[in-house]
Amino acid sequence: MHELTLLYGVAEKVQQVVKENGLEKIDAVVVEVGEATAVVPEFLRDGYSVISDDYDFLRGSELIIDVIKAVGRCRSCGREFPINECRGICPDCGSFDKDVIAGTDFFIKEVRVMET
């Protein structure tokens, strides 16, 4: 499960934010997960409940996952289309040949802290 490796990376980045801002705890971490990454949101969620217990500042916090659609641009006709819905095939010309132009990233979008 490489999701756990990603999550430990998330925890380390959040730890920096916590230190820099003199926080004790955070409420939620928002991550963006592209459909074209090999990251499985369910595994992320399960993994988070495990690793968030390892860190005082994460305990009891929530992982919010924004899934970003994978978008391809057809190399034959230039059409942009959602890759998953179209099963990777250009809806205009039927070509498989495409560049993936969105949905390839995994990153932390936001760290949420409850106002006190």
Residues near Zn ion (CB under 5 A): 74, 76-77, 79, 90, 92-93, 95
- H or E segment and range at residue 11: helix 2-20
In the bound state with Zn ion, the residue whose beta carbon lies nearer, of 22 and 87, is 87
CB 70 within 8 A of CB 59: no
User: Could you give the CA distance from residue 55 to residue 32 in angstroms, rounded to a whole number?
Assistant: 21
Query: 41 or 88, CB closer to Zn ion?
Result: 88
Tokens of 7: 């999550």
Least distance from C-beta 35 to Zn ion, angstroms?
Answer: 19
Smallest gap from residue 41 Cβ to Zn ion (A): 29
For Zn ion, the closer CB: 17 or 86: 86
Neighbours of 80 (CB within 10 A): 13
- The minimum distance between CB 82 and Zn ion, in angstroms, equals 14
